[in-house]
Structure 1
Amino acid sequence: MSGPDGPAVAAENGPEEPALATDALPAEWSDADDWTDEALALLRSLRTPHRLNRVRQVAYALYCTVLILVVWGGVPSLGLFLQAAMGADYTGGGPALLAAVPGGVAAVGLAVLLLAVRDGLWRGPVVPPRATIDWLLVHPVRPGPVLRPWFRLSCGLAVFPGIVASAGAMVVLGLTVRAGLPAALAWCLIGGTCLPLLGVCAALSVERSERAARLARRLTPYATVLVLGFAAQSALAAAGHSVHWLDRVVLWSGPWGWAGIAALAPTPAAVPGSGAAAALLIVSTVVGLVRADRAAGTVSLTLLRERARNAASVLAALRTVEPRAARLAVNAATGGDRRLKVRLPAPRRAWLVVYWRDTLALLRSPARLGRAVLLTVPALLCAVPAHAARWNVSLAATGLALVFGHLAVAQLLEPARIDTDDVRRASWTPFPFAGLMLRRSVVPTVLGALLGAAGSTVAVLCGAGPAAWLAPAAVPALVGAGLVNACRGAARRDLLYRPAQATGGGAGNIVAFAAWYAAGPAVAVPLLALPFSAALRGGTVDSLGRAAVVGAVVAVGLFHWARVRAEKLPAQARPGRAG
């Protein structure tokens, strides 16, 4: 935009980004043509009849949120404190918790910043409605007063989860290490509010600048690896393998670590320099907010239109209950996965073509292979506490490990999902569609087994015992669960709108739809969790053999189920049969 903010646009974007400055100046107008105050006053008067309804909606949403927090968080926390006052001791896990704080807080803090930056790649903190972009901002009005309220709204929405998380951290510290509640809340609020605000400021930089967006895309894989590294460090420290000098390095490595120093300040494990770390975090947040608030009014009108279209596409996909469509829309808006020009010698035998295409597709999309590797790490880490814990904790840890394992192998099943998105894509192959889907599972099963074997080898070398070799044994069943999901067909939105008496109300409808949508892992994880948990706790040859047999039986059943589902897809895709 031009006018009073015009020079600021050129100054902010600089000579290296003339496109943004040009887009921000669609027409020349002077201060005498400025109608900002009049336009905003007119809009306020026109919106007055609707403002009361909007206030009621916001108040009702806030009431529901507070009620949920009180019922599910406040009341149980009060009960725990009452039990502690009557003699209950919750300090047994205090040392392990304090040891896990440096890596854990750093992992969460860096993940918050990473998610905010990724949001800035496709949406951003400044996304006004389409009417504001297409009508109001093309008139002689200053963009600053119009866009800054949306940036401030994004800041407020980002801070709210941080406040809730700080309250939860206060409860945990008060119960496990007997920290003073006011001091614990005050110190935890420093990280709980500053990190989300820093993330919003970083997202605005990514939204405004293509150079920052390119840098964010380039650094995302490394930041993801660092988050997983911090999480692994936290898990190992909680298990008694803490490295003190590494904890100090992590705590002082950046804002994500400064929040951990602040969280440890009211505890016996306080780190020297807590006040300096808190001051650094607060000052950097204030400086970032001041600069971002000034820059919020200089976002290019062209970029605003693009982000509004992206947000509308994702919202439309979510409203029609199409999570995959929403995920693809976000992926396209963020630039998509990087494609490599990789070549493989063509096979000499026709039956190898499917496997050749699947391997080539995965090699050309290294991001999927990278995500599969990264998700394998938390799967193995979750299986570690299942070895020596009580049966209920072991069962929960094993189930969580299987969920991460399913997510890992699901990254390798993208060729099957592409075929099921449009069955006409499979017209090149002479195989029946159901047979093609089964062949699509071969490469993911082999690669998943290799990843599991590699992780098991590392675990065995670290002293995990023979139970670590259960990882590759679970891969076929998890691939079968992913294939069942890939062959689910068109979204069954009718499950959401069935009569309330049939499913027990609206919640029953949501549960029915979720069970249909995630049918594969919903069946595989419970069936595998019990025998695999028993094998991890027992460690005997018999228990390992029983778990492997159960995994094979579940895999056969899931592949048969996927075949049955796949046989129905071509008929559903024919004209007149899509509904």
Structure 2
Amino acid sequence: MTAPHAEQTDSPPDWTDADDWTPEALALLRTLRAPHRRGRAKQVLFLLYCVVLVLVIWGGVPSLGLFLQAKMGADYTAHGGRLLAALPSGIAAVSLATFLVVLRDALWRGPVVPPRASIDWLLIHPVRPRPVLRPWFWLSCGLAAFPGLVTAVGAMVALGLMVKVGLAAAFGWCLVGCLCVPLLATSAAVWVERSDRAARWVRRLSGPVLLAVLGLAAQCGLAIAGDRVGWLERGELWSGPWGWAGITALAPTRASVPGAWAAAALLLIGTLGALVLADRAASTVPLDRLRERARTAAGVLAALRTVELRSARLAVSSAAGAKPRHRLRLPAPRSAWLVIPWRDATALLRAPARLGRAVLLTGPALLAAVPAHTSRGPAGWLATGVAVVFGYLAVAQLLEPARVEADDLRRSSWSPYRITGLMLRHAVVPVLLGGLIAVLAALGVELAGGGPAVWLAPVLVPALVAAGLVNACRGVPRRDLIVSPLGGAGGGAGGGLGPLVFAAWYAAGPAVAVVVLAAPLSDAVRTDSNAACVPVAGLALALAGVLGYWAWDRAGKLRAAN
């Protein structure tokens, strides 16, 4: 009687090759899913047809026209010098940004993400994971390589027109970097997906890498303006795969760097080696991690289909973010009116990445204002509008407590304030911190030779914070606007203005700020005098009051709707 009892208590043995039904199971699934696969293939082919059609219409036909004009005597080589000056740091910035985006994507989704049915049902049976997971890795590689191929074609056209390089040579050299960089990033993303240590390193290095990307972008702008630093560019070009791609792109031009064949060999050999290692590692991703990521990806896709953009963003941030180990605390306030700012400041201390993003986004806002200083008319208005948008994105990072409060009004049940007054109190910390960041940025620009117009930056902060409050209080997404009567004849969604109407409703606050401030702010930045800045400062403060009242009104309607 003891032997059967022992057999019942012992753990079951591992399944052997005799229990392996992987080929039969996959063959049966292919047979059962054949009708679905044919329908899906038709959808993919139609999508590919649409993409190719758009690329041909918006890229191929204009490029062909430019080449025909060049044959008839048009000269585009006047821009060749600036293009060659921008390539070293510009390619390094784009390549490094590609690594950052792909590796950050691997924190919540990853290159190996099979459907939930394969994970929840197929992989829990005695089926080898490698035949199931490998195709999804190579699918991610193909999707990553397609934009690189398109970029290589665009680079070939630009070099052929502006630098008079042979099209075959330009395409071949550019293709090396344009394919190897995304494939290297995708291969590295597999290790981020399967390793907690690699994921922690990506989170730690995301901020410094983003700073490096912004610095390279600024250097690219300075190089176009004629201020180049040769030794720094050479160091960047040989610093890693992001720089080797620039060396290969410059190889067929008169600005070629010695060692182009070595850079190309390093890229090709490194990419092939990384693909082989990633192919082997793709089947070792833990099942529980695959299941979690597949559910997150499905939730994000569902939120995007229903135009729940904030839900999608929250799902991504909750899956990709790391839990803080240390919870910093501020002394409890003694005055009741300081409770809301104290909570907002505490929330920022526990999520310092938001404050870091606010600081980083201030840089592009200032850089976008540089062309506005020398441009007039629509070009200056466009540059100023871009600067206002980046300024809004910077202060919007500090408004997360207000957005959380507006997502679920039950959160504010503890507060003695009405939701209208509560929302306005959430503006205190963003205005103070945003103003401080803007003052420090303006001080740095003035020390570098800027004029009085730089001090408009802190004056604009209250208006941008109020615009963020308007967006925070917009309530449930108005998907009906997409198919509203404004969307076309009979209210149809195809080819009408419905999506534009929805976008205008979704981004109403910053859109009003850009429309109102772009032209007068552009004139003040170009004039750069105290007399021109005073009216703009008054307009910005008045706009802050109008947008603040709009946010107060929207918050009241939000309470009434609930």
* TM-score normalised by structure 2 residue count: 0.94
SS of equivalent to 1:387 = helix
CA 27–110 in structure 1, closer or farther in 2 if over 3 Å, else same: farther
Task: Report the Cα distance in structure 2 between the residues aligned to 1:292 and 1:213, rounded to whole angstroms.
Answer: 16
- CA shift, 1:69, in A, is 0.7
1:149-170 Cα deviation digits (max 9, x unpaired): 1111110011111111222222
**What residue in structure 1 maps to residue 507 of structure 2?**
518
SS of equivalent to 1:122 = coil
1:287-328 Cα deviation digits (max 9, x unpaired): 000111122122222221111111112112212211111111
* 2:28 equivalent to 1:42: yes
- Asked if 2 retains the 8 angstrom alpha-carbon contact of 1:331 and 1:337, the reply is no
**What residue in structure 1 maps to residue 532 of structure 2?**
543
**What residue in structure 2 maps to residue 90 of structure 1?**
76
Letter in 2 for 1:512: V
Task: Report the Cα distance in structure 2 between the residues aligned to 1:336 and 1:422, rounded to whole angstroms.
Answer: 24
CA 225–479 in structure 1, closer or farther in 2 if over 3 Å, else same: same
- CA shift, 1:51, in A, is 3.1
- Which of 397, 412, 416 does residue 426 from structure 1 map onto? 412
Task: Report the Cα distance in structure 2 between the residues aligned to 1:405 and 1:280, rounded to whole angstroms.
Answer: 40
**What residue in structure 2 maps to residue 299 of structure 1?**
285
- Asked if 1 retains the 8 angstrom alpha-carbon contact of 2:151 and 2:178, the reply is yes
- Asked if 1 retains the 8 angstrom alpha-carbon contact of 2:483 and 2:493, the reply is no
- Asked if 2 retains the 8 angstrom alpha-carbon contact of 1:201 and 1:289, the reply is yes
- CA shift, 1:377, in A, is 0.6
**What residue in structure 1 maps to residue 443 of structure 2?**
457
SS of equivalent to 1:102 = helix
**What residue in structure 2 maps to residue 185 of structure 1?**
171
- Which of 161, 167, 180 does residue 147 from structure 2 map onto? 161
- Which of 501, 521, 531 does residue 489 from structure 2 map onto? 501
**What residue in structure 1 maps to residue 347 of structure 2?**
361
Letter in 2 for 1:548: A
- CA shift, 1:337, in A, is 6.4
- Aligned residue pairs, count: 549
- Which of 446, 462, 469 does residue 483 from structure 1 map onto? 469
- CA shift, 1:205, in A, is 0.5
- Asked if 2 retains the 8 angstrom alpha-carbon contact of 1:484 and 1:559, the reply is yes
* 2:235 equivalent to 1:249: yes
- Which of 183, 186, 196 does residue 197 from structure 1 map onto? 183
1:409-447 Cα deviation digits (max 9, x unpaired): 000111111110111212222222111111211211121
SS of equivalent to 1:268 = coil
Task: Report the Cα distance in structure 2 between the residues aligned to 1:94 and 1:541, rounded to whole angstroms.
Answer: 39
- CA shift, 1:218, in A, is 1.8
- Asked if 1 retains the 8 angstrom alpha-carbon contact of 2:482 and 2:493, the reply is no
1:488-532 Cα deviation digits (max 9, x unpaired): 011112222335426674342211111111111111112111111
* 2:220 equivalent to 1:234: yes
- Asked if 1 retains the 8 angstrom alpha-carbon contact of 2:372 and 2:383, the reply is yes
SS of equivalent to 1:328 = helix
Matches within 5 A, 1:395-434: 395-434=381-420
- Which of 439, 442, 445 does residue 428 from structure 2 map onto? 442
- Asked if 2 retains the 8 angstrom alpha-carbon contact of 1:339 and 1:365, the reply is no
Task: Report the Cα distance in structure 2 between the residues aligned to 1:360 and 1:138, rounded to whole angstroms.
Answer: 44
**What residue in structure 2 maps to residue 19 of structure 1?**
none
What are structure 1's unaligned runs of at least 5 residues?
1-24, 574-579
What are structure 2's unaligned runs of at least 5 residues?
1-10
Task: Report the Cα distance in structure 2 between the residues aligned to 1:415 and 1:339, rounded to whole angstroms.
Answer: 20
Task: Report the Cα distance in structure 2 between the residues aligned to 1:501 and 1:27, rounded to whole angstroms.
Answer: 67
Task: Report the Cα distance in structure 2 between the residues aligned to 1:298 and 1:55, rounded to whole angstroms.
Answer: 29
CA 247–549 in structure 1, closer or farther in 2 if over 3 Å, else same: same
Task: Report the Cα distance in structure 1 between the residues aligned to 2:426 and 2:507, rounded to whole angstroms.
Answer: 19
- Asked if 1 retains the 8 angstrom alpha-carbon contact of 2:113 and 2:294, the reply is yes
Letter in 1 for 2:305: R
Letter in 1 for 2:27: A
* 2:523 equivalent to 1:534: yes
- Asked if 2 retains the 8 angstrom alpha-carbon contact of 1:444 and 1:479, the reply is yes
Letter in 1 for 2:154: G
- CA shift, 1:341, in A, is 2.1
SS of equivalent to 1:384 = helix
- Asked if 2 retains the 8 angstrom alpha-carbon contact of 1:155 and 1:200, the reply is yes
- Which of 266, 271, 275 does residue 252 from structure 2 map onto? 266
SS of equivalent to 2:113 = coil
Task: Report the Cα distance in structure 2 between the residues aligned to 1:480 and 1:80, rounded to whole angstroms.
Answer: 46
- Which of 284, 289, 305 does residue 319 from structure 1 map onto? 305
Task: Report the Cα distance in structure 1 between the residues aligned to 2:385 and 2:12, rounded to whole angstroms.
Answer: 56
- Which of 47, 65, 89 does residue 79 from structure 1 map onto? 65
**What residue in structure 1 maps to residue 49 of structure 2?**
63
**What residue in structure 2 maps to residue 350 of structure 1?**
336
* 2:546 equivalent to 1:560: no
- Asked if 2 retains the 8 angstrom alpha-carbon contact of 1:338 and 1:366, the reply is no
- Asked if 1 retains the 8 angstrom alpha-carbon contact of 2:451 and 2:529, the reply is no
Task: Report the Cα distance in structure 2 between the residues aligned to 1:325 and 1:337, rounded to whole angstroms.
Answer: 19
- Asked if 2 retains the 8 angstrom alpha-carbon contact of 1:170 and 1:185, the reply is yes
- Asked if 2 retains the 8 angstrom alpha-carbon contact of 1:481 and 1:520, the reply is yes
- Asked if 2 retains the 8 angstrom alpha-carbon contact of 1:90 and 1:176, the reply is yes
* TM-score normalised by structure 1 residue count: 0.91
Task: Report the Cα distance in structure 2 between the residues aligned to 1:330 and 1:194, rounded to whole angstroms.
Answer: 27
CA 451–286 in structure 1, closer or farther in 2 if over 3 Å, else same: same
Task: Report the Cα distance in structure 1 between the residues aligned to 2:368 and 2:13, rounded to whole angstroms.
Answer: 58
- CA shift, 1:476, in A, is 1.7
**What residue in structure 2 maps to residue 5 of structure 1?**
none
Which has the higher mean CA deviation after the structures are superposed, 248-257 or 27-36?
A: 27-36
Letter in 1 for 2:53: L
1:155-209 Cα deviation digits (max 9, x unpaired): 0011111111222222222222222222221111111111111111111111111
SS of equivalent to 2:372 = coil
CA 337–553 in structure 1, closer or farther in 2 if over 3 Å, else same: farther
CA 94–449 in structure 1, closer or farther in 2 if over 3 Å, else same: farther
Indicate the RMSD between aligned Cα atoms, in angstroms.
1.9
